[in-house]
Amino acid sequence: MTLLFVNACLRDGSRTDRLARMWLERRAYPGDVVELSLARQDVRPLGAAGPNRIDDYNRGVAAHDFEHPMFDYAKQFAQADEVLIAAPMWNYGIPALLHDYLELVCSQGVTFDIDATGAYVSLCHAQRLTFVSTAGGPQVDPLDDHAWGYVRTLATRFWGVAQPDSVIAWSVDMIGADVDALLAAALD
Q: Predicted confidence band at 140 (pLDDT cuts at 50, 70, 90)?
A: confident
All domains in the chain, ordered by first residue: 2-187 (3.40.50.360)
- Count of other CB atoms within 10 angstroms of residue 176: 4
Q: In what order do the strands lie in the sheet with 165-169?
A: 32-37, 2-7, 82-86, 129-134, 165-169
CA distance 83 to 86: 10
Rounded to whole angstroms, the maximal C-alpha distance in the chain is 56
CA 86 to chain centre: 7
pLDDT above 90: residue 114: yes
Quick check: 142 pLDDT over 80? no
Q: Cβ atoms within 10 A of the Cβ of 44, count?
A: 15
Are 7 and 36 in contact by the 8 Å Cβ rule? The answer is: yes
On whether the CB atoms of residues 47 and 75 are closer than 8 A, the answer is no
Three-class SS state of 33: strand
Q: What mean pLDDT do residues 67-76 have?
A: 98
Rounded average pLDDT over 74-83: 98
Of 124, 161, 168, 116, nearest to 142 by C-alpha is: 168
Q: What is the pTM (predicted TM-score) of this model?
A: 0.96
What's the mean pLDDT in 6-10? Answer: 97
20-29 pLDDT tens trace? 999 999 999 9
Quick one: pLDDT at residue 187?
96
Q: Are the beta carbons of 82 and 125 closer than 8 angstroms? A: no
Give me the chain's average pLDDT, please.
96
